[in-house]
Amino acid sequence: MSLFARTPLKASSEVEEQNTALRDSLAARLSRSASEDTWAELAKAGVLGICVPEKLGGLGLGIRESEPVFEVLGDLCRPTRFLESSIIAAGLLDSIGGEESRELLRRLTDSDFVIAIVGLEPATAPHLRLDRFAQRCGLSGRAALVLEGVEADVLLILVRQDARVSLAAVLDKADGLVEHAYPTIDGRMAADLRFNDATCVVLADDCSEALSRVIDQAIACTAIEAAALMTRLVEDTASFARDRAQFGQPIGSFQVVQHRLVDMYIAARRAGAIARRAMAGLEHCKVQRAALASAAKVTIAETGRYVGQQAVQLHGAIGTTYEHPVSRYFKRLTAVEQQLGDSDMHVKRYAANAFV
């Protein structure tokens, strides 16, 4: 057995058989399709509504059952809106209830429906304001780095006021909201939006508890994806080292290269272990859940940067080219590192929760 054989990111034997079947099916389906067809293929596989209740047209499964999807998306490096739509939006809407939320949940299973979340990262929308009138609610302010903000049919808005986090929805996105659209480092599209008394529906006056839980779930999911990204980078780099000759012999025969590959392998295994632990920790109390999620976030940031840098360096100049897979994988790891809070924030969050 190869030293760099892929180890499935599993933590519970109860769902192992189901997850293995889903992982194998998705891997076969997506590996035969182009990157731009990923979302359509996920829809055909029926996983867009994986966390949507069955009575609303979804699968009615839990976060643990989404692991195979993130493993495959990481292994093939397919950045999509699956995290924002099928995990975060679905989790928030299911938690708060209400007829408007249920209708949006139904629509999440539709491959043509695009939902974007505004203000998920607090620093991107610090000055949003909700104004309530007799017959309507208006939203004002500016939000930056809204993923899928250009194509979105509906915008979910997180408005932070004092200790509360209100959840609103702009159901009819008007022209002129988009100030600037641009690609992200991993190839997705984002936009800066400006709201000028935009009509919206308030779905929840305070969703802070639901948001905290959903954010921890999202961190665990991105940790699963990041571990799969790293595992593939280690495998591809080891294969390249066996084939690339220098001074008349494969560079993989050089001791210094072997040591680096082993260090990369250990880092990827660390990422996989903490990802599984964070996923299992979602069933714990709020304090333990938060501590494990933050530990996972810090670990994947550290290991992802190390594995990505070493993979690029060992590939040489070709590893820096736009078209090469190593470059794409490293960029995706860099994007994951910056999502849902940076390392400094999560070190403080871990310290606040781990020693309570």
Amino acid at 88: I
Under 8 Å between Cβ of 268 and 341: no
Residue 3 pLDDT > 70:
no
Could you report the per-residue pLDDT of 310-319, keeping only the tens digit for each?
999 999 888 8
> CA–CA separation, 291 vs 212, rounded Å?
12
CA distance 308 to 121: 24
Does residue 10 carry a pLDDT above 60? Answer: no
Range of lowest pLDDT (11-20, 79-88, 191-200): 11-20
Quote the pLDDT of residue 85: 96
Whether 68 contacts 106, CB under 8 Å: no
Q: Maximum distance among all alpha carbons in the chain?
A: 80
Among 30-39, 193-202, 238-247, 306-315, the range scoring the smallest mean pLDDT is 238-247
Supply the pLDDT for residue 5: 39
Q: Kindly report, residue by residue over 212-271, the tens digit of the pLDDT.
A: 999 999 999 999 999 999 999 999 999 998 988 788 888 887 899 899 999 999 999 999
Q: What is the mean pLDDT of residues 131-160?
A: 91
**Confidence at residue 97, expressed as pLDDT on a 0 to 100 scale:** 86
Alpha carbon distance 168, 101 (integer Å): 10
Q: Over pLDDT 90: what percentage of the chain? A: 74
Asked whether the CA dihedral 3, 9, 13, 19 is positive or negative, the reply is negative
Calpha distance 113→131 (Å, rounded)? 28
101-123: pLDDT as tens digits: 999 999 999 999 999 999 999 99
Q: Could you tell me the pLDDT band of residue 132, with boundaries at 50, 70 and 90?
A: confident
pLDDT at 11: 44
Say if CB 225 and CB 87 are below 8 A apart.
no
Neighbour tally for 178: CB within 10 Å: 15
Yes or no: say if 224 and 85 are a contact pair by the CB < 8 Å rule.
no
Q: What is the 3-class SS of the chain, one letter each residue?
A: CCCCCCCCCCCCCCCHHHHHHHHHHHHHHHHCCCHHHHHHHHHHHCCCCCCCCHHHCCCCCCHHHHHHHHHHHHHCCCCCCHHHHHHHHHHHHHHHCCHHHHHHHHHCCCCCCCEEEECCCHHHCCCCEEEECCCCEEEEEEEEEEECCCCCCEEEEEEEECCEEEEEEECCCCCCCEEEEEECCCCCEEEEEEEEEEEEEEEECCCHHHHHHHHHHHHHHHHHHHHHHHHHHHHHHHHHHHHCEECCEEHHHCHHHHHHHHHHHHHHHHHHHHHHHHHHHCCCCHHHHHHHHHHHHHHHHHHHHHHHHHHHHHHHHHHHCCCCHHHHHHHHHHHHHHCCCCHHHHHHHHHHHHCC
Amino acid at 46: G
Q: 21: pLDDT confidence band, cut at 50, 70 and 90? A: confident
In contact, 224 and 83? CB cutoff 8 Å: no
Distance CA 21, CA 277 (A): 22
Residue whose token pair is 């360096």: 313
Q: Which residue in this structure is represented by tokens 């990369």?
A: 264
Phi, psi of 125 (to 5 degrees): -145, 65
Mean pLDDT value of segment 267-295: 94
Task: Give the torsion through C-alpha atoms of 98, 101, 105, 110, to 10 deg.
Answer: 130
Q: Which pLDDT belongs to residue 304?
A: 96
Amino acid 99 reads E
